[in-house]
Amino acid sequence: MPDLAIKRGVRMMNGTQDGQAPRMAGRAGMVLIVGLFFLWGLANNLNDVLIAKFRHVFQLSDLQSGLVQSAFYLGYFCFALPAAYAAERFGYKAAVVGGLLLFAAGALLFWPASLQPSYPFFLFALFVIASGLAFLETSANPLVIVLGPAESADRRLNLAQAFNPLGSVTGVAMGAALLLADVPVGVAPDASAVRMPYLVIAAVVLVWAVLLMATPLPRAVMPAGRVPVSGVLSGVGALLKRPRYLAGVCAQFFYVGAQVGIWSYLIRYVAAELPQLGIQRAAWLLTVSLLLFTAGRFVGALLLSRIEGARLMTLFGAINVMLMVVAALVGGRVGVVALVASSFFMSIMYPTIFVLSLRGLGPLTKPGSSLIVMAIIGGAVLTAVMGFVSDISGAISLAMLVPAACFAVILAFARLHCGEVER
């Protein structure tokens, strides 16, 4: 998810803070912060299974079930800048603990939501969880940087980021095992199955918050008298005059929308195209997609050492346009393979768009990074659009034309920067 690339912007934003932080805050602090990457990966991708669960429990249309991601990413969007302000004003530790408490509160809300049961209540709970994750993602990356010597910061970040896809795979596997078990014939599905997993998540998160409160961490607050909000707002005004930067924000919006939409509806697509597999096996194919995405990050990192980023993204973007057209128009086993394979080629897109968008911004890098992170609202908007297309067409396969268009936008953005490099 987005977190992998944020580290690049964070490095630029916080490069001067390493000298102000203690050289080493202790192994315990590092372990606890690395655990955050696992926790938000788990929460993010558990949503993909929740969509399938809620669709059957509440008899939802595809548009209505897609509101799971809309509520979730709206929380990220609304709290991205407040989280950045809190981290600078009160310190990383306070922001992380506050984020964990919000995360736990949202997970605990699944209990009353499942007792009613109420789909809008569930959506509100997901919004609260996402607001907490916005605080975690804003603070965890720079905390990893300051928790040790500057010369080994990249190594620590790579280690921490490795736990994020591990959490994603765990979330999908846990959801497939606990939420999508086959319901006996004649028994109506209910929402009670979601209660225990989220209560366990809440308990783990609260324990994590207590442990962090008891662990010394670098404060890294703002210098006295500095007002970050005005700085961010003035920077935003300057960025609005940079068309190439705005193209990057647009590309990120469409990328996140494509990624979230594909994963959100993959179970639904497989169940429709290969009904003999069943919904639980369809969920395991989502796990395969996440593993391919993880593999793509490693392969992509190797290729990027030899191929310029914009050119590689041009190739991957073109491949994914073709894969989405196959998924939309061919369907069946071939369509399923195309949809699952697309995850491999998505892997480099977020970080590459992030870096290309920030190129040459200088002092505008920090507000520029914030706006690009806020572009993840595409996950809320375009997932709903895909649901709408599925509902009006009567075919979930045709909804894959939406991510096809998204990848076409990314392809155009990549080509723009290929020309820029050549000139």
Domain boundaries of the chain, sorted by first residue = 1-226, 230-423
Q: Residue 11 has what pLDDT?
A: 41
d(CA 24, CA 408): 45
Cis peptide before 223 (omega within 30 of 0): no
**CA dist., res. 226 & res. 178, Å (int):** 49
**What residue spans of 91-118 are helical by DSSP H?**
92-108, 110-115
Q: How far apart are CA 297 and CA 305, in angstroms?
A: 13
How many Å apart are CA 194 and CA 135, to the nearest integer? 24
**Please, are residues 103 and 35 in contact by the beta-carbon 8 Å criterion?**
no
Beta strands in 349-423 (DSSP E): none
pLDDT value of residue 9: 40
Q: Which residue has the tokens 């590309």?
A: 251
Q: Decide which of 423 and 119 is more confident.
A: 119
Q: Is the pLDDT of residue 214 over 90?
A: no
* pLDDT band with cut points at 50, 70 and 90 for residue 188: low
**Amino acid residing at 371:** L
CATH of 230-423, one of 1.20.1250.20, 2.60.40.740, 1.10.1530.10, 1.10.10.10: 1.20.1250.20
Tokens 């102000």 map to which residue?
Answer: 20
pLDDT in tens, 277-336: 888 888 889 989 989 988 888 888 788 888 888 899 999 999 999 999 999 999 899 999
**CA 25-200-179 angle, 5° bins:** 130
pLDDT, position 107? 94
112-116, 299-303, 362-366, 389-393 — which one is most confidently predicted on average?
389-393
DSSP 362: G
**So what's the pLDDT on residue 294?**
85
Neighbours of 361 (CB within 10 A): 20
Decide: residue 186, CB within 10 A, 0-12 exposed, 13-18 middle, 19+ buried: exposed
pLDDT at site 222: 40
Structure tokens at 206: 């609260």
pLDDT for 415 beyond 50: yes
Amino acid 240: pLDDT: 77
CB atoms within 10 A of CB 315: 14
The reply to whether 1-226 and 230-423 are identical in fold is yes
Q: What is the mean pLDDT of residues 176-196?
A: 69
Q: Assess contact for 351 and 300: CB atoms under 8 A.
A: no
- Beta carbons of 401 and 389 less than 8 angstroms apart: yes
Rounded Cα distance between 86 and 93, Å, is: 10
- Residues 4-18: what's their mean pLDDT? 40
Q: Classify domain 1-226 by CATH architecture.
A: Up-down Bundle (1.20)
Show the tokens assigned to 275: 């009904």
Tell me: pLDDT of 18 over 50: no
CA 65 to CA 107: how far, in whole Å? 19
Q: Bigger pLDDT: 223 or 258? A: 258
Average pLDDT over residues 413-422: 74
Residues 111-167 have pLDDT tens digits of: 999 888 899 999 999 999 999 998 887 777 667 766 766 655 555 665 676 687 788
| Confidence bin at 84 (pLDDT 50/70/90) | confident
Structure tokens at 413: 């953005």
Q: How confident is the model at residue 184 (pLDDT cuts 50, 70, 90)?
A: low
Between 324 and 83, the more confident residue is: 324
More confident residue, 324 or 76: 324
DSSP letter at 147 equals S
Q: How far is CA 332 from the centre of its chain?
A: 28
- The answer to which of 17-31, 52-66, 303-317, 398-412 has the lowest mean pLDDT is 17-31
Q: What is the DSSP string of 47-86?
A: HHHHHHHHHHHTT--HHHHHHHHHHHHHHHHHHHHHHHHH
CA 271, 275, 278, 284 torsion-angle sign? negative
Instruction: Return d(Cα 45, Cα 186) in angstroms, integer.
Output: 30
- Hey, is 181 helix, strand or coil? coil
